Structure formats: C-alpha cells, structure tokens
C-alpha cells in the first residue's frame, strides 16, 4: 500500500510539472514512472494501459439497424502464423486473428455476407493457403457471398486470399498482381570471406545442408529449389484459373508475376470492378438480398469512439507495439528463409 501511495504521489507531481513546463524535458521521467508501475505490479488489474488480446471478440455495429448483418474483416500486413513480440505482451498472428473472426461469423446465422478488406503484400505459402482454405470453408458451410475490397496493395498471397470471393473490387489506386512464388534466404559467404571466418559442416547426406547461407549454391540445389517453386506456382496458377476464368493469354500474362494497377488488373480479368469499400459493402448487400438498413459490423476486442469501416484495429494500439518503431526495418528479421507468396519489394 505504501508503494502504491509513493508512486501515486510521484505521478501527480510529474503531471503537475509537465502542465507548466516543456513536455520533452520530462518525457524520459514519465516513461520511468510508468515503467516503475509495471515492474512493481502497482498497476490495478482494472486499468488497462496495454490492451489484452485474450479479450473475446465482440460485435460492433458501424451502421444500419436491421437484423441481418454484413461482416467486414480486415486482413492487413504480412500473412503469417507467427506471433509478434511487443514491449509488454505478444500480439496474435494475422492467421489467428482472421480465423477467429471467420469462425465467429460461421456460428452466427444472421451474418448474411462478408467483405474482406485486404491490404497485404502476401506472406508465407502455408499461412496463405490456410487462410484461403478457411475462407472457402465459410463459403461452403454458410453459403454467404464474399466480396473483396482491395486497399493499397493486394499482391501475391493477398491476391491468393481474394480468389474465393464472389466479387473483387479494387480502388483505382490499388496495386495488385505479383502472382507467383519467391524463395528467399540470406547469404553470408562474401562477408565471412572478408573477415576471415569460415564454417565447417559434417553431414549425413550430400543434400543435408541445402541452401546453406555460408557457401555458394550448387547447380543441383538451384534445380531442386526451382522444382519446388514451380510446383507451388502451379498451385497458385490452378487457383487463378479455377476462380477467375480468365483467357489462356491473360493467365500466361498474370503468371509472369508482374504487378498491375487496378485498371490493368480489370482488363486482365483479375478483378471485377473499381470502387471503394462502401461499394463492396453495397455489393455484398445486393448479392445477399439485403436492404440498405442491414447492419454493417466488425469484430472488436474493445470499443472505439466514432467507429467506422476504416478502423481495422481489434484492440487499441499498444499490445504488440515495439518500444522503438524502426519502420520497414522492423520486419526484416521476421522474413526467415522459406517459400513465399509475396511481393518482396512491398514487404514491410
């Protein structure tokens, strides 16, 4: 109790000082006070300075008053099943968050249509395929129409997730495409040669250290990796052909893995329409036979004031937020060796 009072008194004095003096001068002091609360356990369990992603998803109505619902599910960022480390807590993976929302929609008979709002350069092959399968499962079990609203970038794995949709709408400024596979792995051989360091390897088979970052890639390895890439690319191509019904010449063009503007993608048959998220919602309503009074909902873990369809957070920012934001550099360490349905230039 005495420790609670001591920290409380210190915080009051600090707040009084920054009210009348330069904020920058006392920023570090404030951080130290808050850190002290966490370290000593003086934060009340009823006060959430950092949101908890273990809170249940709750339905939030963004517009409309009818009984039937159109659910908007945001899919943002790199598609992976890896959790993200934060300053205080871990943030669930993109796969986990999206699957949780799909499963919740599956159990709600009043959800009559779904809009996937996608802003993603892609991700790992397996995580992308998992989400694709989960979206398909919702369609097969509930039969609800699914409409995609593409945002800034919906490339590679992001486009893969769009394929099960009944209708794809892209903003005029959307970049899409990059339909293909890339195998990324680091190479340290040149750096090690410069500093005079080498790695010795004992192995049970000649291919046991395939893709080693400590030596040059052999011709046999190049052919082996390419065969894997070709098989995964064929899977992607089959999905495009199955869902989009484009011409052979268009499919051949798409599989060059170029990126396209929305207008270019429309001409190739990759998407169905140019428009905004509001258009995607109205299209979903129309396909489900709903009127304009049907509710538009999202799933949140907390409530937000003046909420709308462009707020993609399930919880307030804080959980999973690093102490220092390095921007695009912050995710370089997340890209591990492996096969990706992604546009590398847009990975951030």
Question: Which member of 127, 156, 162, 178 is catalytic?
Answer: 156
Residues sharing a CB contact under 8 Å with residue 38, sequence separation 6 or more, in sequence order:
49, 88
Q: CA 131, CA 134: separation in Å to the nearest integer?
A: 5
CB 78 within 8 A of CB 332: no
208 is catalytic: yes
Nearest residue to 283 (alpha-carbon basis) of 271, 268, 270: 271
81 alpha-carbon distance from chain centroid: 10
In sequence order, the 6+-apart residues with CB closer than 8 A to the CB of 135 are: 102, 116, 146, 161, 164, 165
Q: Is 156 a catalytic residue?
A: yes
Catalytic residue selected from 13, 208, 252, 258 = 208
Helices (H), 41-147: 94-106, 125-142
What's the number of CA atoms in the CB half-sphere (13 Å) around residue 166?
A: 19
User: Cα-flanking dihedrals φ and ψ of residue 84, to 5°?
Assistant: -105, 135
| Residues marked as catalytic | 156, 208
């Amino acid at each position: 109790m005495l420790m609670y009072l001591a920290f409380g008194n210190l915080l009051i004095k600090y707040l009084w000082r920054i009210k009348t003096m330069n904020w920058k001068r006392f920023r570090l002091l404030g951080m130290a006070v808050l850190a002290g609360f966490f370290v000593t356990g003086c934060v009340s369990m009823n006060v959430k300075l950092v949101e908890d992603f273990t809170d249940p998803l709750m339905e939030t109505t963004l517009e409309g008053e009818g009984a039937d619902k159109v659910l908007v599910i945001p899919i943002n960022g790199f598609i992976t099943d890896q959790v993200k480390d934060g300053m205080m807590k871990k943030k669930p993976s993109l796969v986990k968050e999206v699957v949780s929302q799909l499963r919740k929609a599956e159990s709600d008979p009043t959800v009559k249509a779904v809009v996937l709002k996608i802003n993603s350069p892609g991700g790992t092959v397996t995580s992308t395929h998992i989400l694709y399968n989960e979206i398909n499962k919702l369609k097969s079990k509930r039969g609800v129409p699914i409409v995609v609203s593409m945002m800034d970038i919906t490339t590679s794995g992001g486009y893969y997730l769009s394929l099960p949709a009944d209708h794809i709408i892209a903003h005029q400024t959307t970049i899409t495409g990059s339909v293909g596979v890339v195998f990324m792995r680091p190479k340290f051989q040149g750096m090690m040669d410069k500093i005079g360091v080498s790695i010795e390897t004992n192995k049970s088979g000649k291919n046991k250290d395939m893709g080693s970052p400590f030596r040059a890639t052999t011709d046999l390895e190049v052919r082996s990796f390419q065969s894997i890439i070709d098989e995964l690319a064929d899977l992607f191509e089959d999905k495009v052909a199955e869902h989009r019904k484009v011409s052979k010449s268009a499919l051949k063009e798409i599989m060059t893995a170029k990126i396209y503007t929305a207008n270019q993608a429309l001409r190739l048959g990759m998407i169905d329409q140019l428009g905004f998220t509001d258009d995607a919602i109205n299209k979903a309503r129309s396909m489900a036979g709903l009127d304009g009074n049907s509710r538009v909902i999202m799933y949140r873990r907390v409530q937000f004031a003046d909420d709308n369809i462009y707020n993609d957070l399930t919880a307030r920012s804080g959980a999973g937020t690093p102490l220092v934001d390095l921007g695009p550099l912050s995710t370089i360490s997340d890209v591990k060796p492996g096969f990706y349905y992604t546009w590398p230039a847009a990975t951030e």
